[in-house]
Chains A and B, each alone.
Chain A
């Protein structure tokens, strides 16, 4: 009896939250005229008389004004951003990619990873030229260094830095939301960033490119048999999966595939019970892992050795396939269209003959005899 009540309550909560999130996404999909109010999940862009009002991921309202223009009333000075932004500090590789997509990679002046962690040529060159500075780890940035870069804007996921940056007069925009972003928001994020740089046209063009890729994915995979897919991570005693409301799960659904953890709700990769992992894993044909090969995802055998209890899931056996992201995957948000296509190609190889993997690698059955220590 207790169990039914548990399941019932959990199901109710899950459904309610899923519906809520989907509703938030739906509103963004509705066709709207270009110049009017744009809702992008939790973000919004609202052109007004003389300025553009945007709402960031933390619900803060910022005013974007042309350089030298008068700031509108009702905005604190630190919430007013002069656009186009010429110097920006970005916390996430995702935002760095977006800058490239908008065609303004030279505006980047500060990042939260040191040069040797970057695989993007434009960032490495920026370091070499002395334009880009490493401002410290994102959990503990060095405000002095940020200030030394004289940025017009800081893009962050950490609202706790706002008071400090306010006091030195640097505007902040929070680029993450409390709930997981759905696919639509993920794709349209570029349209939220675009007004900051005056690149609305490029933003729209980028979105159209990704949307077009999505359309071709739908067309190519229509009517094809649906593979069973799982996406997560394995530790010595624990297992995690991407929740059903994550954008990858959505994409998998759109690409005519079944994501096996659609019923799991969360904000990001979340721990689930081993028995559920095994139960669904037995049906999965394709497993996307979180780990890069550098962090131990070198072969199916290596993953199986990490947690022998789940070694019998289908993807780790001869009948399934395992894919690990390559190191630059997380730094390639300007190639989202290519990433979406590659995921689709992995799901339906027969629809993409001759496709070469560039963002993922398929794990071999066993480790090669000579194991490279690092990549």
Chain B
């Protein structure tokens, strides 16, 4: 795999008359999937249009495969770079095969005649996007998902080294979104195609992209591996997240609970509390939870939801005692307890203290039992949720909203 960058920009400044992004320095390698992330209006589309030479840069340089972008002829550029735009072109009376075949433009003769090899490429492009059966259909009659695939196929038919996509999954349902992302990732991996796509789904970007570019505040705030770049802070700052958090470990967004409906203590750990946290948070309950181990899944979910966690760190056992003490103390301020069913001395201590305070305890039937008959035992999550609603009328009101 060559180390030469497919696309390199230095000191790039993009915009229409005023600079939208300044000092953009990027380097994309072969076979990489690069996701452009950022809020609306940040300049992702402007950047893409500049890279595709639809817009002149205000300053700086761009190199495609080592050549200056602006010195390349239109045909040479077309053989190197293909685009998929947000423009919803619906040319009448054009079959899918003809539409995709238009992508062979830089490779055919002056009258656009297609050789058997061209037809082969068209066929392969359609197969790569799993749209082979659409070849005879008319483009104007396709659904959004089908059309997006066909637009991709057309770009593929150009046999580019680099593909620039502007919000390729914007109007697609989940199935097609995953399909398109999967196709692109496979192309990067198998054919060495470099894909640069502006995305809104940060979860998918985190899972699919090799590199992410954070676009905000008139420049590129970050560029690198998603695992490194996509931290809770950075994402929160990027999108101005206020009532939600992005968790880098989970690779997803969690919404903060309101917390006005009451306080609940969740006896969690070992992953037993993750689903419960979300359910309770949606009811508007403030959550206290413990005692969680440091690397526990529950710890991340709870933190993302804005819950107060009592954490036992394996590295500092001396502090562990503080954690259980804190948890027991917090029980006093809670209105109810939900038991995740985790065994262990900490959990048992919490259960006993809950009983002592007279707090109602709810748990799922399958959870590890204690022989207290006081616990409200529910067979399903639905029953559990309903039972909690009954116990906390304010919670129920909140939940019903």
- Complex contact flag A–B (Cβ < 8 Å): no
Q: Measuring CB to CB, which residues of chain B are less than 8 angstroms from any residue of chain A?
A: none
